[in-house]
């Protein structure tokens, strides 16, 4: 998957604490999970789609905790994501998948 500059992609070693991201009127300056500081970032969010598909939304404005990675999005952004996901995607990319359970 192509990475964009200044964009954070989920760290697979660090599972997000809550999914979908926490919705707040305004991004908090302090993380409600760990009291770390929250910075404005553009993030990539991944949503399950129908028929085993995965839907990826790049460039979402979010507040991201610099300590634990908790993400905060506003209800307006959540609504825009919903609208985006109901429309055809900008493009499709192939995603490789590994099955841990089948190998250990």
Q: Which residues lie near Zn ion (CB under 5 A)? A: 31, 33-34, 36, 65, 67-68, 70
Distance in Å, CB of 63 to Zn ion, minimum: 10
State the nearest-atom distance from the C-beta of 64 to Zn ion, in Å: 9
CA distance 13 to 67: 14
Q: Using the minimum distance from each CB to Zn ion, give the nearer residue, 54 or 67.
A: 67
**Rounded CA gap, 100 and 66, in Å?**
29
CA angle 51, 56, 58 (to 5 degrees): 165
Closer CB to Zn ion, residue 29 or residue 92?
29
16 vs 36, which CB is nearer to Zn ion?
Answer: 36
76: helix, strand or coil: helix
Q: How far is the CB of 24 from Zn ion (least distance, A)?
A: 13
Tell me how far, at minimum, the Cβ of 6 lies from Zn ion, in Å: 20
Instruction: Between 53 and 66, name the residue whose CB sits nearer to Zn ion.
Output: 66
User: Which strand (E) or helix (H) includes residue 2?
Assistant: none
Angle in degrees, CA 91, 55, 72, rounded to 5: 120
């Amino acid at each position: 998957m192509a990475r964009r500059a200044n964009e954070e992609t989920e760290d697979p070693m660090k599972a997000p604490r809550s999914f979908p991201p926490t919705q707040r009127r305004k991004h908090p300056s302090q993380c409600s999970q760990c009291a770390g500081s929250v910075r404005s970032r553009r993030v990539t969010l991944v949503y399950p789609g129908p028929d085993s598909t995965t839907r990826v939304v790049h460039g979402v404005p979010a507040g991201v905790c610099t300590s634990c990675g908790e993400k905060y999005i506003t209800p307006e952004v959540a609504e825009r994501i919903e609208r985006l996901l109901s429309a055809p995607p900008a493009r499709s990319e192939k995603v490789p998948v590994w099955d841990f359970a089948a190998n250990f």
